[in-house]
């Protein structure tokens, strides 16, 4: 296989004394026996984007390793020093259960301290939301978490947070990217740690988090009445095991069963194909234990414990998985309704969700005269709304369809620890009042209408995959459908131009959103179809949100089956 002169030059730059012998040996092995892998490892530089780094681990410029982590951290250090030139800056660092996560966290700590920045490093793996909390609690200027969320075992990543505890947004994301790209190779990185600038985070931060969590619980009496609620929990080999069972037990849930086969943190995720709680297979062991023990519900968190999937019992006593739209709607409805019932609403509250998340949350907020805000996809944009409104309005809660939720303001990222506790609280309240979470969801549908959502993700592999996806989006923009699934398309929202067009009047209006490559079709019956290409992979996602008049609890299953057939029809009409 032909290796270009450009790639050869990049390889030679890594066969120098700046790179350790083991890495050089691995590169030489690829040169001799695996030229395809060598090209994949060096043909480009792993891009530091708005979300940080994420990629396959291994030697090379297009891989996650000590040197790409080091260059990213050097760029971050340079940016922090430019933003806080007159004070001693500090950065909090956490890591998850993935292979090499602790090593990469320590690498980042070494580079930051070498650049005279104080480091607050977690001694052991901890959930991402605790890092978000620690940044604010310890008054740091930034934070780093080493994680690749639910990606396969060969991946790792690097996410950057700013002083408000949220992932970086403009202008800081672009400023950091610029500095990272300006780092001219491995030789520009200072790896010589100053140990006196590295402090380890003690248990006081976790204690402060649990105290804040306890303060937002609304139904403590109902929890006492339902303390024997049987809950199964799995951390899927991730960080959630360090906090979720403890949080549930401290709140008063005495019957928490842990899936022991998945309780040990392990970056190889040996019991699952993918450690993603959105996928049923990842929760199979938890479902088996829940059935065996006749548990009332189960929770499963992803490796860095910022997302949680749940299952509850339906009217036939079957365990069914709720999707992120359903769980998010339950959380928002519970928080608003309970605050109103307890006279806790002060008139300055709001909720927030992403544009591809169910509009049921909007309907719920409207019914209580609570403002709601739509954001771009990604929880950092919800955190951006929180930053903008801090001190003026209060964030009740919200989330995104991909199993990420938050209530209250002491964390600035989606939080599976907090969410697990609050979902258990909701269940306790329901049981204490003679119903269940499933029954509560049916009551919500009866009041607001049935929303059923599905996500279809299409990967188009090959070098021309990205171009094919661009062509699909261009075609949808040039010739938007006039109807889908038997309902007229009444509005097209093109987030790329931040404009919505009324197809009946032809009127165009501005949307209060940053631009993003997302296209949405709004149907006459209130349904919404969204198309969103991935920014990092040759993948396009279609979000189907179908709204119908609810035909009653007894007919729920049959109605959902009909809606699924309708979604199949719409997919055919869109050619996906």
DSSP string covering 271-334: T-S---TTSGGGGHHHHHHHHHTT-SEEEEE-TTSS-EEEEEE-TTS-EEEEPHHHHHHHHHHH
Q: For residue 285, which phi and psi values (nearest 5 degrees)?
A: -65, -40
Q: Which residues contact 347 (CB under 8 A, 6 or more apart)?
A: none
In DSSP terms, which residues pair with 257 in a beta bridge?
Answer: 232
Q: Determine contact, residues 291/283, Cβ cutoff 8 Å.
A: no
Report how far residue 454's alpha carbon sits from residue 458's, in angstroms, rounded to the nearest whole number.
Answer: 13
Report how far residue 365's alpha carbon sits from residue 380's, in angstroms, rounded to the nearest whole number.
Answer: 21
pLDDT by 10s per residue, the chain, length 576: 688 999 999 999 999 999 999 999 999 999 999 999 999 999 999 988 878 999 999 999 999 999 999 999 999 999 999 999 988 999 999 999 999 999 999 999 999 999 999 999 999 999 999 999 999 999 999 999 999 999 999 999 999 999 999 999 999 999 999 999 999 999 999 999 999 999 999 999 999 999 999 999 999 999 999 989 999 999 999 999 999 999 999 999 999 999 999 999 999 999 999 999 999 999 999 999 999 999 999 999 999 999 999 999 999 999 999 999 999 999 999 999 999 999 999 999 999 999 999 999 999 999 999 999 999 999 999 999 999 999 999 999 999 999 999 999 999 999 999 999 999 999 999 999 999 999 999 999 999 999 999 999 998 876 678 888 999 999 999 999 999 999 999 999 999 999 999 998 999 999 999 999 999 999 999 999 999 998 666 789 999 999 999 999 999 999 999 999 999 999 999 988
Bridging pattern class, strands 297-301 and 231-234 = parallel
Give the pLDDT score at 51: 81
Q: Determine contact, residues 432/226, Cβ cutoff 8 Å.
A: yes
Token digits of residue 458: 């299409």
User: pTM value?
Assistant: 0.95
Give the pLDDT score at 536: 60
What percentage of the chain's residues is helix, strand, coil (to nearest 5)? 40, 20, 35
For the beta sheet containing 404-407, the strands, ordered from the edge strand earlier in sequence to the opposite edge, are: 372-375, 349-354, 394-400, 404-407
Report how far residue 189's alpha carbon sits from residue 110's, in angstroms, rounded to the nearest whole number.
Answer: 10
- The stretches of 148-297 forming alpha helices (DSSP H) are 172-181, 203-215, 220-225, 244-251, 284-292
Report how far residue 296's alpha carbon sits from residue 428's, in angstroms, rounded to the nearest whole number.
Answer: 10
Q: Which listed residue (113, 149, 219, 545) is catalytic?
A: 149
Q: Determine contact, residues 120/90, Cβ cutoff 8 Å.
A: yes
In DSSP terms, which residues pair with 298 in a beta bridge?
Answer: 232, 311
Beta carbons within 10 angstroms of residue 541's beta carbon:
17
Q: Give 66: exposed, middle or buried? Use CB within 10 Å, 0-12, 13-18, 19+.
A: buried
> Taking the mean position of all CA atoms in its chain, how far away is CA 280?
18
Report how far residue 340's alpha carbon sits from residue 191's, in angstroms, rounded to the nearest whole number.
Answer: 54
Alpha carbons within 13 angstroms on the beta-carbon side of residue 60 total 26
Ranges in the chain annotated CATH 3.30.310: 450-574
Report how far residue 560's alpha carbon sits from residue 323's, in angstroms, rounded to the nearest whole number.
Answer: 13
Measured CA angle at 288 (ends 286, 294), to 5 deg: 95
Token digits of residue 163: 């002083």
Give the pLDDT score at 143: 98
Task: Note the residue count of the chain.
Answer: 576
* Cα 118 to Cα 199, 291, 324, distances in angstroms: 8, 49, 38
Q: Which residues contact 410 (CB under 8 A, 6 or more apart)?
A: 133, 136, 209, 212
Q: Is the dihedral of CA 264, 265, 266, 270 positive or negative?
A: positive
483 is catalytic: no
Give the pLDDT score at 47: 87
Report how far residue 93's alpha carbon sits from residue 85's, in angstroms, rounded to the nearest whole number.
Answer: 21
Nearest to 329 by CA among 215, 443, 218: 443
Report how far residue 362's alpha carbon sits from residue 369's, in angstroms, rounded to the nearest whole number.
Answer: 10
Long-range contacts of 467-475 (CB under 8 A, 24+ apart): 468/538, 469/533, 469/538, 469/539, 469/540, 470/533, 472/531, 472/540, 473/517, 473/519, 473/531, 473/533, 473/540
Report how far residue 388's alpha carbon sits from residue 365's, in angstroms, rounded to the nearest whole number.
Answer: 20
What does R_g of the chain's alpha carbons equal in angstroms?
A: 24
Which helix (H) or strand (E) element contains residue 458?
strand 450-459
Give the pLDDT score at 266: 98
User: What CATH class does 450-574 carry?
Assistant: alpha beta
Report how far residue 375's alpha carbon sits from residue 317's, in angstroms, rounded to the nearest whole number.
Answer: 37
Q: Determine contact, residues 538/462, Cβ cutoff 8 Å.
A: yes
User: What CATH class does 46-201 carry?
Assistant: alpha beta
Bridging pattern class, strands 519-523 and 528-533 = antiparallel
Ranges in the chain annotated CATH 3.40.120.10: 46-201
Give the pLDDT score at 233: 98
* Cα 173 to Cα 50, 120, 180, 336, distances in angstroms: 5, 21, 11, 33
């Amino acid at each position: 296989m032909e290796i270009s002169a450009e790639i050869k030059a990049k390889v030679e730059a890594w066969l120098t004394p700046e790179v350790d012998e083991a890495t050089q040996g691995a590169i030489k092995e690829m040169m001799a026996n695996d030229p395809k892998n060598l090209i994949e490892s060096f043909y480009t530089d792993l891009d530091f984007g708005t979300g940080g780094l994420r990629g396959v681990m291994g030697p090379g410029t297009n891989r996650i390793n000590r040197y790409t982590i080091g260059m990213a951290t050097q760029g971050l250090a340079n940016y922090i020093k430019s933003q806080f030139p007159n004070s001693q800056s500090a950065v909090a660092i956490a890591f998850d259960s993935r292979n090499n996560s602790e090593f990469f966290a320590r690498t980042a700590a070494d580079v930051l301290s070498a650049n005279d920045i104080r480091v607050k490093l977690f001694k052991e793996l901890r959930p991402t939301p605790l890092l978000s909390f620690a940044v604010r609690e310890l008054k740091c200027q930034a934070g780093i978490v080493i994680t690749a969320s639910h990606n396969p075992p060969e991946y790792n990543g690097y996410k950057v947070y700013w002083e408000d505890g949220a992932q970086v947004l403009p202008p800081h994301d672009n400023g950091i990217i610029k500095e990272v790209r300006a780092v001219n190779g491995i030789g520009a990185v200072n790896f010589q740690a100053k140990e006196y600038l590295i402090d380890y985070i003690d248990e006081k931060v976790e204690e402060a988090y649990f105290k804040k969590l306890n303060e937002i619980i609304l139904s403590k009496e109902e929890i006492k009445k339902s303390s024997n609620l049987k809950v199964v929990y799995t951390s899927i080999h991730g960080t959630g095991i360090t906090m979720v069972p403890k949080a549930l037990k401290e709140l008063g849930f005495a019957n928490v069963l842990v899936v022991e086969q998945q309780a040990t943190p392990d970056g190889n995720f040996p019991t699952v194909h993918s450690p993603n709680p959105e996928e049923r297979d990842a929760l199979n062991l938890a479902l088996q234990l829940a059935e065996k023990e006749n548990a009332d519900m189960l929770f499963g968190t992803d490796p860095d414990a910022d997302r949680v999937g749940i299952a509850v019992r339906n009217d036939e006593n079957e365990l069914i998985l709720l999707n992120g739209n359903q769980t998010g709607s339950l959380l928002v409805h519970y928080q608003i309704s309970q605050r109103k019932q307890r006279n806790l609403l002060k008139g300055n509250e709001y909720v927030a969700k992403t544009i591809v998340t169910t509009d049921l949350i909007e309907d719920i907020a409207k019914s209580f005269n609570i403002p709601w805000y739509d954001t771009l996809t990604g929880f950092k944009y919800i955190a951006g709304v929180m930053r903008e409104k801090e001190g003026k309005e209060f964030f009740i809660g919200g989330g995104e369809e991909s199993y990420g939720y938050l209530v209250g303001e002491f964390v600035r990222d989606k939080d599976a620890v907090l969410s697990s506790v609050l979902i258990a609280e909701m269940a306790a309240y329901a049981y204490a009042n003679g119903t269940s979470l499933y029954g509560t969801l049916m009551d919500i549908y009866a009041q607001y209408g049935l929303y059923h959502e599905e996500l279809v993700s299409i990967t188009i592999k090959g070098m021309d995959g990205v171009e094919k996806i661009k062509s699909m989006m261009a075609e949808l923009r040039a010739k938007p459908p006039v109807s889908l699934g038997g309902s007229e398309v009444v509005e097209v929202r093109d987030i790329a131009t931040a404009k919505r067009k009324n197809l009946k009047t032809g009127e165009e209006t501005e949307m209060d959103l940053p631009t993003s490559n997302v296209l949405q079709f709004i149907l006459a019956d209130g349904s919404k179809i969204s198309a969103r290409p991935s920014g990092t992979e040759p993948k396009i996602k279609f979000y189907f949100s179908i709204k119908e008049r609810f035909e009653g609890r007894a007919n729920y299953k049959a109605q959902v089956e009909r809606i699924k057939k309708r979604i199949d029809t719409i997919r055919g009409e869109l050619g996906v």
